[in-house]
Structure 1
Amino acid sequence: MSQKNEQWGSRWGFIMAAVGMAIGTGNIWRFPRVAAQNGGGPFIIAWTIALFVWAIPLLMGEMVMGRKTGLGTIGAFRDFAGKKYTWMGTWVAVVCLGIMFYYSVVMGWCIKYFTLAISGTFKPGMDTVATEAIWDTFTTTPSQTILFHFIAMIIAGLIIYRGVTKGIEKASKIMIPTLFILLVLAAIRAITLPGAAQGLEYLFNPDLSMLTDHNIWIQAFTQAAWSTGAGWGFIITYAVYTKQKEDIGGNCLIMGFGDHLGALVAGMTVLPAIFALSSTQQFAEEAMAQGNTGITFVYLSQLFTEMPLGNLIAAIFFGAMALAALSSLLPMIEVGVRNLMDMGIERKKATIYIAVAGFILGVPSAYSLHFMDNQDWVWSIGLLVSGLFVAFALIKFGLEKVRKEVINLEGADFKIGKWWSVFVGLFPVFFVVITGWWLYQSTTWYPDTWWHPFEKESFGTVIFQFTIVIAAALALNNWLANKVGKGRDITKGITKVK
């Protein structure tokens, strides 16, 4: 099969790959902590609303762009928004690859901890001092962190090398059901522990008065944007391989709900385990305040040692983490590969180029947690900019035209109403509020050096790195627009629905 004609073998295969794209480590280690710290039940309500207001509309928009143009992010923006906006597609690709460089490091951590669990490292009686020492020793040993980063890139690269049907689709059909099974097994064990009910109460706290807290809404939209893959360019890329009559609305709703379900099951694993096995509520709350890496690799590692068959449960949990990371790493690589293929480079060569670049440019994050945290901060905000650019392209093309003539195809399982056009039209407002809040927060963290380009999470480092990427993308705009091959005729194959 030629690179221009690659296609998903089935709708099920595409959905599994897309759900895998959405479910990543952010669902497993970030969602439980953020939900617990922001009211539990009220946060879940706000997060579900954000799913419909931001994430699902954006996923639909990305699927429209990829399917209509038949090109990766660079070509999709060229053909859908106009040649002079090609640079926006370059931005989307660069942000996605920027995350890929350190995300493979995170997958390497999960693989490492899976091996620690199956080798019996987590022994009964260990305290958090001991598990923190394991974490500190590992993350300050570059030979180990770089090795497992390399292993992660090799695994993901080999799958992408095999192509869409034999690689991504085949792997996703195995990985995603396995991931859900592992999460459900871990959740069942966690909620059957004595004292687990307190964790469930924390997660599903019914105090709806907390919905008046603006911070809960900001955090809910941020989580929805991060975890679903909306704005990453994933679905623009995956949609290239879909059939022309594929149901856009139905598929994107399934992706969104699949992501939600994965996060809720993870929450029902992590929070009950923390509360059931913590000696005091203060210890549990201290665990949740430790950030993503602390709660996962320090506190949960210690808590697993207090369970019967703790190493087995730890192996299941970290195995699920590794699968979740892999299912999200695959589309990150594919975004880069697809763009190179659009420029005439065949898949196998393109995969080697992206995988090698991913390994080399990921080494700084493997070497330094400080550098990695900086990249996570910068490109997380970059994702919101990517979402804004997708919304701009859709608005420019015509939101109602897209909804009526592209999304609501004849025979579609779900007909999407005007709410889609309204919410996409409001994206600039959402962007200003969420991004403005994030950047304002950074000025309070560094009141005297908020402008400094080399502070870990400053306003200055965001502007500095954004400026470099945008300047380069603008400078290369016309060259890239001409380099990318011809896509589909976006004026053809449209079915109007009255």
Structure 2
Amino acid sequence: MVFLTDLRKHNRIVKSINQTEGYLTTQVAFSYFEKGDQSLTMSEKSQWGSKLGFILASAGSVIGLGSVWKFPYMTAANGGGGFLLIFLISTILIGFPLLLAEFALGRSAGVSAIKTFGKLGKNNKYNFIGWIGAFALFILLSFYSVIGGWILVYLGIEFGKLFQLGGTGDYAQLFTSIISNPAIALVAQAAFILLNIFIVSRGVQKGIERASKVMMPLLFIIFVVIIGRSLSLPNAMEGVLYFLKPDFSKLTSAGLLYALGQSFFALSLGVTVMLTYASYLDKKTNLVQSGISIVAMNISISIMAGLAIFQARSPFNIQSEGGPSLLFIVLPQLFDKMPFGTIFYVLFLFATVTSSVVMLEINVGNITNQDNSKRAKWSVILGILTFVFGIPSVLSYGVMADVHIFGKTFFDAMDFLVSNLLMPFGALYLSLFTGYIFKKALAMEELHLDERAWKQGLFQVWLFLLRFFVSSFQSSSLWSSLPNLCNQKGLE
């Protein structure tokens, strides 16, 4: 799930819903429809059509722009292979245990993310954990869609439908003209959100699963093509060696913290994404095996992105050209020198869409409680609300460039709120809930770790990591974010 630290309040909907079956009137705030404990029929409830669809959709949700621009940039700035090694270890000790926790909670409850914690904890006071994820994903999509819109514009330019570069190849000027033009940026953002609405409104099987089965294999194929082409460039092996060879002398404390954080950021943990996807699963699917597959795919894409970019660009240039400048200025210049350069923009679009659809899907599920009969309507409503809330992020590079919240533009402030506060808070409470409140017997049953003694031993290791290691890291992550916030001014 992947975050844009280089780039850089909440609408409430309150409505009364009369449920004729139970004569219950429920008050709704933004993303919470109560449907009591009424069960939905198989045709009404959202479900995955296959285990493969679940794995590909889950992997797609975590493979986003962070894998393409942030991971290579941070690797280059923090000792190459040394950073990569820390990331791999922390993924096993932090990311994977938390991923299994979300899987177990989601499938065991089988309801929306917000209702999961109240149901399993037998007290609705725990539902605030689901609310953290709901708010985080709503805010995240509001500014993530801005980036998605920029990618659509670039793709349109490549196909010659919107602009002509006039042979100058001045991508820095082009990028500046796009982000500073409200009309272009807003139309592009709206188009990107419409694409997400279309996919999510079609449902889990016909929308998200079908799209993931097409986009994820193509994503891997495109990366293979990029790596193969990059190998033919001058000094390609120099970049490969820099990427893989550890140099711990260049691994800063900030880089170490990011490598640890990337282990759960890269898996979209702490905001109930994986929890919701697991709630669509049948009881036969092995969660541990599925989790291993998803983690392996995420690591593979991150490494492939690093190999492709390091081969094509000097590691020293990557250190100073990370983030949006790498994606929208540096890499397009390289694409111009390669045949079929359009394929790269298609890759970026796939990486963005596979992540963004889940941001909309989770809150559609929260509102409808996974009732497909309401899916289309609320996909549109939430899409519109996301667009409206995202307007200040679009204007952060234009008329609102001088408006700051705690020293940050609106875009950057929303990014900080999600990445540095909401996600770590969500992950902390989720790990504590699973470690101390979620019944052990249910967790063992969901993870299929209750059959033999050695499996029960693995369960105890998993529980220990959640209770102490994962929760301690999340607390440290939150603590490290406070000075950055407190040292800034308020609204300017």
Map of 2:375 onto structure 1:
347
Map of 1:433 onto structure 2:
476
Q: Does 1:337 align with 2:376?
A: no
Map of 1:23 onto structure 2:
63
- Which of 345, 348, 361 is 1:321 aligned to? 348
Q: Indicate the percent of aligned positions where both proteins have the same amino acid.
A: 26
- In structure 1, distance between residues paired with 2:380 and 2:53: 24
CA spacing shift, 1:394–1:244, aligned 2, 3 Å = same
Q: Does 1:93 align with 2:134?
A: yes
Q: Which structure has the highest helix share of the two?
A: 1
CA displacement 1:256-279 (0-9 Å, x = unmatched) = 11111111111111122112xxxx
Q: Does 1:237 align with 2:276?
A: yes
Aligned partners of 2:393 and 2:411 also within 8 Å = yes
CA displacement 1:221-274 (0-9 Å, x = unmatched) = 122222211112111111121001221111111111111111111111112211
Which sits farther off after the overlay, 414-423 or 429-438? 414-423
Q: CA deviation at 1:124?
A: 6.7
CA spacing shift, 1:368–1:114, aligned 2, 3 Å = same
Aligned partners of 1:76 and 1:89 also within 8 Å = yes
Q: CA deviation at 1:5?
A: 2.7
Aligned partners of 2:143 and 2:390 also within 8 Å = yes
Q: Which runs of 5+ in 2 are unaligned?
A: 1-40, 398-408
Q: Does 1:270 align with 2:309?
A: yes
Aligned partners of 1:20 and 1:327 also within 8 Å = yes
Q: Does 1:166 align with 2:166?
A: no
CA spacing shift, 1:308–1:102, aligned 2, 3 Å = closer
Q: Does 1:365 align with 2:393?
A: yes
- In structure 1, distance between residues paired with 2:433 and 2:164: 51
- Which of 159, 179, 184 is 1:139 aligned to? 179
Q: CA deviation at 1:166?
A: 0.8
Map of 1:32 onto structure 2:
72
Map of 1:461 onto structure 2:
none
- Which of 277, 293, 297 is 1:254 aligned to? 293
Aligned partners of 2:104 and 2:446 also within 8 Å = yes
- In structure 2, distance between residues paired with 1:94 and 1:347: 19
- In structure 1, distance between residues paired with 2:84 and 2:307: 13
Aligned partners of 1:66 and 1:238 also within 8 Å = yes
Aligned partners of 1:122 and 1:302 also within 8 Å = no
- In structure 2, distance between residues paired with 1:171 and 1:116: 24
Partner SS state of residue 266, structure 2: helix
CA displacement 1:400-431 (0-9 Å, x = unmatched) = 5454332125789x954433112111222101
AA aligned to 2:382 is I
Map of 1:356 onto structure 2:
384
CA displacement 1:296-320 (0-9 Å, x = unmatched) = 1112222333x242xx22x211211
Q: Which runs of 5+ in 1 are unaligned?
A: 276-283, 444-449, 456-498
Q: CA deviation at 1:133?
A: 0.6
- In structure 1, distance between residues paired with 2:81 and 2:272: 31
CA spacing shift, 1:328–1:411, aligned 2, 3 Å = farther
- In structure 2, distance between residues paired with 1:3 and 1:357: 28
Map of 2:155 onto structure 1:
114
CA spacing shift, 1:438–1:72, aligned 2, 3 Å = same
Map of 2:257 onto structure 1:
218
Q: CA deviation at 1:14?
A: 0.7
CA spacing shift, 1:204–1:352, aligned 2, 3 Å = same
Q: Does 1:62 align with 2:102?
A: yes
Map of 1:465 onto structure 2:
none
CA spacing shift, 1:19–1:29, aligned 2, 3 Å = same
CA spacing shift, 1:409–1:9, aligned 2, 3 Å = farther
- In structure 2, distance between residues paired with 1:41 and 1:260: 14
CA spacing shift, 1:209–1:401, aligned 2, 3 Å = farther
CA displacement 1:472-496 (0-9 Å, x = unmatched) = xxxxxxxxxxxxxxxxxxxxxxxxx
AA aligned to 1:225 is F
Partner SS state of residue 46, structure 2: coil
Partner SS state of residue 418, structure 1: helix
Partner SS state of residue 5, structure 1: coil
Any residues of structure 2 matched to 1:152-163 within 5 Å, and which? 152-163=192-203
Q: CA deviation at 1:394?
A: 0.4
Partner SS state of residue 64, structure 1: helix
AA aligned to 1:348 is A
Any residues of structure 2 matched to 1:437-456 within 5 Å, and which? 437-442=480-485, 450-454=487-491
CA displacement 1:100-144 (0-9 Å, x = unmatched) = 111111111112112222339567774xxx211101000001111
CA spacing shift, 1:133–1:102, aligned 2, 3 Å = same
- In structure 2, distance between residues paired with 1:440 and 1:292: 23
CA spacing shift, 1:14–1:432, aligned 2, 3 Å = same
AA aligned to 1:319 is V
C-alpha RMSD of matched pairs (Å) = 2.4
Aligned partners of 1:3 and 1:347 also within 8 Å = no
- In structure 2, distance between residues paired with 1:2 and 1:453: 50
